[in-house]
Structure 1
């Protein structure tokens, strides 16, 4: 094996040690697939293990059903304390356990589809991911912290899915474990999530920043940026400051504080890679639907399709009203028809926004459908969120191989 490739495979010690012998990658990348069984996006680690992408997950969760012993994270360690800080708010804090007379840190994962909480050993191990460096197509990094969950917790996951990769703005998230001193990547990651309009369409996930090579261009040039804001009561989520929503250029009339956090930390505008469609709290949804209904008053209505309530029979002359999210700093996220209307059949198209009810935790949750076929960059180091307009069905055209 060539020396450079050997170093790629044995990239297991500190950044300073490696940098003296090997120029570490500036970014890592993997192909993203949309699963046909569960509404999840996944990518590959360790050559053949699929992990689904959870931008609200605080750390990596891995299926561990082999009964093998794993390294212990001590209960009193700083790492164990971090797991308590980012314990999913839906779940009670875990109790630690004793393994071979040692107090072993336990952490908790929240499975968002069945809404289950499960606690088990927090540990560490090796993970490998692909690189665009021709001399180093795969990089292995060691001592990566993850939660070791038994099989029953993942029983409904599709075959081949080993767990989830948490990408939340937390110290133990996957992107953060790739920064200094382990690999020295930038504190950012980017996604282009594929749609199911074309079953063979793929997407891409980047760690560490660009370039995001799309044909002959760097897609970073397509991005507009807005601020990421923090909610001290919801540390595992990314939030945007939303000023208003407009339909065909007219801002809908809402209460001045409609998108604000309340004293319990509820409210706000967040993003989710496990929520199929953008979800609006009832007071926002009702005004939004009224505006969209007026803008499509000349289009025949058809029966709803769960969970989508507002469905139309498109005509040849039908033009989908443009939906704009008016963000901070005068930035607008334009939701074009590809991300606002879901085609159900040749005669039925439904508005891809959902009524979350009165008691929903957030004012707005921007869901998977609105993020598909769009380049999204989470620049956590600068507290910035970059987004493009819809790229069409070209997520699979990003360079993900050397």
Structure 2
């Protein structure tokens, strides 16, 4: 599509202004990182697993723990009841360029613009003022952390205790990585002028750190995994699927084009219209770090589960919530890549396949092991899926959950609008193999 020259000029000016605004007061140093690295820890102390990262924020700097939200539009932190103290804490005034980066906003009596910080774990939202403050993180050469770097005017929303409730112990906000101009990837890439790319690698081990990279590779674990990725296009849902959004806003979450599902290399019979996104934003497949397990629309779940049980050939046992298809552990073999069960493959729009091996498809409870997918029709955590008008039909037909992402490297190339992915089990590697060493 051709863009009029005037529109191109406006976009260029706005992009240049955004970069200038965020970088205007970066520490006076000639060092400019090519990438950043943050740890990701699996927290299992809550009712359902959450994936936690940590930044340093404010003046003086303090560690801030955040629940990772791949599809979240921004950073929000609880500022209520004097929990937030900083000498560099600045409000974003109504009508300012900072406010415009958030799209549509409200305006408080103090003339501070705001939006609704959302807890996507519980589905709770409220109203919060937009502010900026110092954020400090580690840069990286792709192998280990290097120098500490800071962004002095990092934009975020002030949340409250009401929104914070339901997050893991010690966590006071959420780190949004979604497709907005104020998400962590966008603000970091603007601040340091590196490529609009980021990667996540979730560990399955709660006692070790996974890793998140901002910027381009290398992404070295035992090797540079960025060289062995398979790519598929990212899709934009024209209707927001967030707990709180303005009418007409598109979704900022990451959707991919799943065209069919295979079990043991055989196509599962599905209503394929559910795999497309309709004009109301219903359908399709998105990726989530907030949903701990993959959630499927009822007919899709039943078709996949039936094909899986038939292919495995083992008797089912009483299920363990929230799962509906379980087996006796003694009936399943195990290997280096996890339970020896039928392979599940997501066939994507450009013909490539996303393999879900046993370590990612199964969840073990001592003597019972379950297919790690959840039927949306019987899912008690409706707020984690998104339902139309509070009803029983999920907005998104398939939500690929965090358990299915563990020990996979996912690279989000925002400039090219594509996703790269690779199971590290197939590379004899692991997400916890990035060598974190404190440089602070």
TM-score (norm 2): 0.79
For the structure 1 residues 21 and 131, does the alpha-carbon distance in structure 2 shift closer, same or farther, using more than 3 Å as the test? closer
Task: Kindly indicate whether the alpha-carbon contact (under 8 Å) linking 1:278 and 1:368 is maintained by their aligned counterparts in 2.
Answer: yes
Deviation at 1:48, TM superposition (A): 2.2
Partner of 2:283: helix, strand, or coil?
coil
Look up the match of 2:5.
none
Partner of 1:329: helix, strand, or coil?
coil
**Which of 367, 371, 377 does residue 351 from structure 1 map onto?**
371
Answering whether residue 211 of structure 2 is matched by residue 204 of structure 1, we say yes
Aligned counterparts, 1:3-402, within 5 A: 15=23, 21-38=29-46, 39-46=49-56, 48-65=63-80, 66=82, 70-85=89-104, 95-99=106-110, 103-132=111-140, 137-180=147-190, 182-195=191-204, 198-215=205-222, 217-234=223-240, 235-297=251-313, 299-314=314-329, 315=331, 319-345=340-366, 347-357=367-377, 359-391=393-425, 394-401=430-437
Deviation at 1:263, TM superposition (A): 2.0
Partner of 2:276: helix, strand, or coil?
coil
Task: Kindly indicate whether the alpha-carbon contact (under 8 Å) linking 1:55 and 1:166 is maintained by their aligned counterparts in 2.
Answer: yes
For the structure 1 residues 151 and 368, does the alpha-carbon distance in structure 2 shift closer, same or farther, using more than 3 Å as the test? same
For the structure 1 residues 61 and 16, does the alpha-carbon distance in structure 2 shift closer, same or farther, using more than 3 Å as the test? closer
Deviation at 1:152, TM superposition (A): 3.5
Task: Kindly indicate whether the alpha-carbon contact (under 8 Å) linking 1:84 and 1:107 is maintained by their aligned counterparts in 2.
Answer: no
Deviation at 1:56, TM superposition (A): 1.2
Deviation per CA, 1:285-336, whole angstroms, max 9, x where unpaired? 1211221121123x12111000011001142658300000001211110000
Deviation per CA, 1:99-155, whole angstroms, max 9, x where unpaired? 2xxx21011012122221111111111100112268952111111110011334214
Aligned counterparts of 1:244 and 1:209: Cα–Cα separation in 2: 31
Partner of 2:207: helix, strand, or coil?
coil
Partner of 1:48: helix, strand, or coil?
strand
Deviation per CA, 1:71-95, whole angstroms, max 9, x where unpaired? 222222344244345xxxxxxxx74
Look up the match of 2:13.
none
TM-score (norm 1): 0.86
Partner of 1:131: helix, strand, or coil?
strand
Partner of 2:393: helix, strand, or coil?
coil
Task: Kindly indicate whether the alpha-carbon contact (under 8 Å) linking 2:43 and 2:206 is maintained by their aligned counterparts in 1.
Answer: no
Deviation at 1:240, TM superposition (A): 0.2
Give the paired residue count: 374
For the structure 1 residues 124 and 267, does the alpha-carbon distance in structure 2 shift closer, same or farther, using more than 3 Å as the test? same
Aligned counterparts of 1:330 and 1:282: Cα–Cα separation in 2: 25
Q: Which runs of 5+ in 1 are unaligned?
A: 1-11, 86-93
Deviation per CA, 1:47-70, whole angstroms, max 9, x where unpaired? 622112101111000121327694
